[in-house]
Amino acid sequence: MEETRWKEKIKPLDENAMEEARAHWMTVGKPLFSLGSLEDAVIQIAGIKGTSDFELRKRGLIIMCADNGVVEEGVTQTGQEVTAIVADNFTRGETSVCIMAEEAKVDLFPVDVGMATDVPSVTKKEYKVMYGTHNFAKEAAMTREEAVAAIEVGIQMVKKCAEAGYEILATGEMGIGNTTTSSAVASVLLGEDPKVMTGKGAGLTKKGLQKKVQVIREAVERMQPDKTDAIDVLSNVGGLDIAGLAGVYLGGAIYRIPVLIDGFISAVAALVAVRLVPECAGYILPSHLSDEPASRKILDALEKKPFLTCGMCLGEGTGAVAAMPLLEMGLQVYRKMGTFDDIHVEQYEVLDGKDER
């Protein structure tokens, strides 16, 4: 099984490094636990990196770009041509996430894992698995082998980033129709009705949403993907961008780099990765709570609490990039703030009813 091969390369978080980070937070001259989940994140990243003394200066965003055959069913407001246009704009600095990434000092890596057309500025033969998936309303989106190949592309991208010295990665995606594929995958993996897991995406009408739900429900009922086999679910009703991002999360665990979830689509990809190899969960961090209706259910299933709740639903990696400066602020308090002894203040104590985090 593919999962066994990936699992063998993933080691547990370093408990000693985490304990050292936890102990250091207790000495930092501020009220105990007062930075909340930012303190937890620093401790988790220490475990990922195997040291309590680390930086997150070199930051990358891997954006998986792919098209989805199910758009033939009229489940989107725009056509597939938009995927290629936006993917090209990633290389020109002309998208929302490009502007945000410049402010957050994050480098972009758009990947054509399965767009319907080649885009010279993005497409590389070694990363392209298919020219878009098949229409899952009529047939399986892809073969099992194609799903695995897309996962491997994600792993290879992380390896490339690790070799270039990147210290933290974010996930992003671009692909018209990918909220449909994500809702389908999530509904199967979580055993939920597609109506509960499906939103309007990039602006469907109420009637359009009803059709989207119907397409997903009928496809799931017809193909009966095995919910215990995440690759089977991907190959039947998923997308190449979801598969590629699942590989990014697995790659983060293999190469010991923390990876930030973006929004709905990348959260579904994280769920796929964790279902494939549960041990990778410790290498994944949340960023924000997407405005897509199923987002909280997915984060709850992953046992991840978002840092930000901005009502965002743009995709591209915007939420993950927005969380980067926040993490950096927490890390710099951890690294630079004096201890209670340094500032001549009596150290706080853990009081009754306030256990250590």
Question: Any idea which residues carry the catalytic annotation?
Answer: 316
C-beta separation of 173 from 233 below 8 A: no
Structure tokens at 280: 């990778």
Cα 78 to Cα 85, 86, 204, 238: the distances in Å are: 12, 12, 10, 19
Cα 157 to Cα 78, 109, 176, 337: the distances in Å are: 29, 9, 22, 35
- Gyration radius from the chain CA atoms: 20
Tally the C-alpha atoms within 13 A of residue 51's C-alpha that lie toward its C-beta.
Answer: 7
Distance between CA atoms of residues 83 and 89, nearest Å: 10
Distance between CA atoms of residues 62 and 169, nearest Å: 7
Distance between CA atoms of residues 4 and 123, nearest Å: 30
Within 220-289, strands assigned E span 259-260, 284-285
Look up residue 280 and give its amino acid.
Answer: C
DSSP 8-class letter at 288? B
DSSP 8-class letter at 308? B
**Neighbour-count burial for 165-180, b at 16+ CB within 10 Å, e otherwise:** ebbbbbbbbbbbbbbb
Q: What angle do CA 337, 343, 347 make, to 5 degrees?
A: 90
CA-based nearest residue to 274, from 288, 284, 260: 284
Torsion sign, CA atoms 301, 306, 311, 315? negative
Structure tokens at 335: 């690294």
Number of neighbours of residue 41 by Cβ within 10 angstroms: 22
Distance between CA atoms of residues 237 and 152, nearest Å: 19
